[in-house]
Amino acid sequence: MGNSSSMLTQYDIEEVQEHCNNLFSQQEIVSLYQRFCQLDRNGKGFISADEFMSVPEFAFNPLSQRLLRMVDGLNFKDFVAFLSSFSSRASLQQKIELMFKVYDSDCNGKVTFNDILAVLRDLTGPFMTEEQREQVVNHVLKEAGYTQDCSLSLDNFIKILGKSDLKTEVEVPLD
C-alpha cells in the first residue's frame, strides 16, 4: 500500500476507511491515494517534510512549520487519518484534538499561555505587536475562566472550544 507503484486493494481501502472512522468514501480514498503517490516522489511509502512543502497551500500556511512536525513521515493510512480531521464529516472533538496538537508544540499534553502566544505570533506576523498579542491571549483566557499561569489539558481545551461555533473545514482536493 505504501509504494507508489502498487495499487490499493479492496481490503486496503476498507482498512484505511476504518482507520479514519469512515470519514472518506472509497472513491475519496482512491483519489487521496493517487495524490499521496504524487507527493511521495521518492516512492518510499511515506511523505517527507520537503514533499509536503511542495504543496503550495501547505507551504504558504502560517502554521506550516507546526503542522510539519505532525505530518513528516506519514504513511498513506496516517496521511488519510490526518486529513480526516479537516473533513466536514469530522466531529467537533476531532477538530479540537487536531488544534490542540498544533498548539501543544512541545508535545507535553498541555497548552500554556506561551504556546497560545506562539501560535498567535505565527498567525499575525508583523501585523500585531507582542503587547497586543499578550492582551488578546490574556483576554481570551480570562473569558474562558483561566489565567496566564495555567496550562490547559486537552479536556480543558475541548471544554473551551466545544462551546464555540467552530468552523475548521478545509476542502481537501481529491484530484
Domain with 127, as residue range(s), is 92-162
pLDDT at 174: 54
Task: Determine whether 36 is exposed, middle or buried from the number of CB atoms within 10 Å of its CB (0-12, 13-18, 19+).
Answer: buried
Q: Which range is least confidently modeled, 12-26, 46-60, 109-123, 150-164? A: 150-164
pTM over 0.85: no
* Domain edge (last residue) among 84, 102, 125: 84
Is residue 125 in a domain? yes
pLDDT at 105: 85
3-state secondary structure the chain: CCCCCCCCCHHHHHHHHHHCCCCCCHHHHHHHHHHHHHHCCCCCCEECHHHHCCCHHHHCCCCHHHHHHHHCCEEHHHHHHHHHCCCCCCCHHHHHHHHHHHHCCCCCCCEEHHHHHHHHHHHHHHHCCHHHHHHHHHHHHHHCCCCCCCEECHHHHHHHHHCCCCCCCCCCCCC
What is the domain-level CATH number for residue 130?
1.10.238.10
- Please tell me whether residues 105 and 69 are part of one structural domain: no
Q: CB-based contacts of 130: which residues, under 8 Å, 6+ apart?
A: 121
pLDDT digits (tens, 9 = 90+) for 79-113: 999 999 988 899 888 999 999 999 998 889 999 99
Cross-strand bridge partners of residue 152 = 111
pLDDT digits (tens, 9 = 90+) for 31-67: 999 999 999 998 999 999 999 898 888 889 999 989 9
- Please tell me whether residues 106 and 137 are part of one structural domain: yes
Please check the confidence at residue 5 and state whether its pLDDT lies above 50.
no
pLDDT at 162: 74
CA–CA dist 54, 51 (Å, integer): 5
Is residue 124 in a domain? yes
- Tally of domains within the chain: 2
- Please tell me whether residues 36 and 98 are part of one structural domain: no
* Domain edge (last residue) among 58, 84, 110: 84
Q: Contact at 8 Å (CB) between 76 and 2? A: yes
Please check the confidence at residue 17 and state whether its pLDDT lies above 80.
yes
Is residue 29 in a domain? yes
- Average pLDDT of the residues in 15-22: 94
- Please tell me whether residues 15 and 42 are part of one structural domain: yes
CA–CA dist 128, 41 (Å, integer): 39
- Average pLDDT of the residues in 7-13: 92
Quote the cell numbers at residue 93: 472533538
Binning pLDDT at 50, 70 and 90, where does residue 173 land?
low
